[in-house]
A = this chain, B = another copy of it.
Amino acid sequence: MKIDHQQAWELLCSMDRILLLTHRLPDGDALGSIFALYLVLKDLGKEVRCVTDKIPASLKAAAIPCDEPAFAPDFVVTVDVGDRKLLGEELDAQYGGRVDLCIDHHGTNSDFAKYTLVDPAAAAACEVLFDMLKGAGFAFTPAIAGELYVGIATDTGCFRYGNTTAKTMRAAADLMEYGVDTAYLNTEIFETKTREFTAFERMAMNALKTYFDGRVALMLITREMYERSGLDESDDKAINALPRQIEGVYVGITVKEKQDGQGFRVSMRSKEPVSAAEICASLGGGGHRLAAGCELTGTKEQAVETLLNAAKAVIDKVL
């Protein structure tokens, strides 16, 4: 059942022994929203516990001490979770069918919980939480404001992406006034690279090649690059943005070799008027117009040739 911000707040206030969950492979919004809500509920004197997957190295600044003894929850809340499957197999099996309240910002939310507060116009789950708390007249602490800022800043690429609205900017302004050290958080989150990522990025950049007068850039990421750099595959996402960043490139392709000869994962980004979704659809994949993906099998050479041909077919039509 869909509920509004005030109803969600009243529900939270009336409950105790609350378990908070978020999606696996948590990003800044998942962690910011679960930790912010944890701190809010502790402030209200509740018994509360949060369970998260491993925190990525780049988000250590958002982590808070919240080791609480396990308890049988009376009320289960998810934040930033669009579908119960995203909880991961274990948590889905244990709690996916008994989520009481879901607080989210994905337009695709599958309405899996008993009560759902979802605002697809919000840039982040943290913006939904901010609206709820502000509407309730909650007294933000610097720590709570910091967690909400982290979620909003990360889901908007630090206020760069198209999901950033004037309302998002004003929410961030309010949070800054509650005493958040935004310069510190932004340095830790956006300006710091692990040694492993630095080594990986160097190898990836050396593997970057351009084609068709520089209109297509392709980076082939091999298993060896993960092994030599020591980078965990779950920390490799920032690399996908590199090929399209080059001036004149309309299609940026990152091809990642999967383990054990299982083929390739392809991330494709494009610039108007070229549609990455159209190119990927021609290869059995899909996605958004300017950011799509597909999977390929065969040898490295075959994968690259297939991708270049598919890109060229679309480029030749529109450029």
Contacts and interface: CB of A to CB of B under 8 A. Distances in A.
Contacts of A239: none
Given A174-B166, A182-B164, A206-B206, A195 B158 contact: no
Q: Which of A166, A192, A206 has the most CB of B within 10 A?
A: A166
Contact of A245 (B191, B202, B205): B191
9 smallest beta-carbon distances between A and B, as pairs: A162-B183, A169-B173, A166-B173, A160-B186, A166-B176, A159-B159, A194-B247, A166-B177, A202-B205
B176 A165 contact: yes
B158 A193 contact: no
Contacts of A159: 158-159, 172
A132 to B, nearest CB: 20
A304 interface: no
A192 B247 contact: yes
B162 A193 contact: no
27 contacts: A57-B247, A158-B160, A159-B159, A160-B183, A160-B187, A160-B191, A161-B183, A162-B183, A164-B176, A164-B183, A165-B176, A166-B173, A166-B174, A166-B176, A166-B177, A169-B169, A191-B244, A192-B245, A192-B247, A193-B245, A195-B246, A195-B247, A195-B248, A198-B208, A201-B205, A202-B205, A205-B205
Interface string A137-167: 0000000000000000000001111101111
Contact of A198 (B160, B169, B246): B246
A93 B23 CA distance: 62
Contacts of A167: 173
A167 to B, nearest CB: 8
B177 A247 contact: no
A193 B247 contact: yes
A159 B161 CA distance: 12
A54 interface: no
Contacts of A88: none
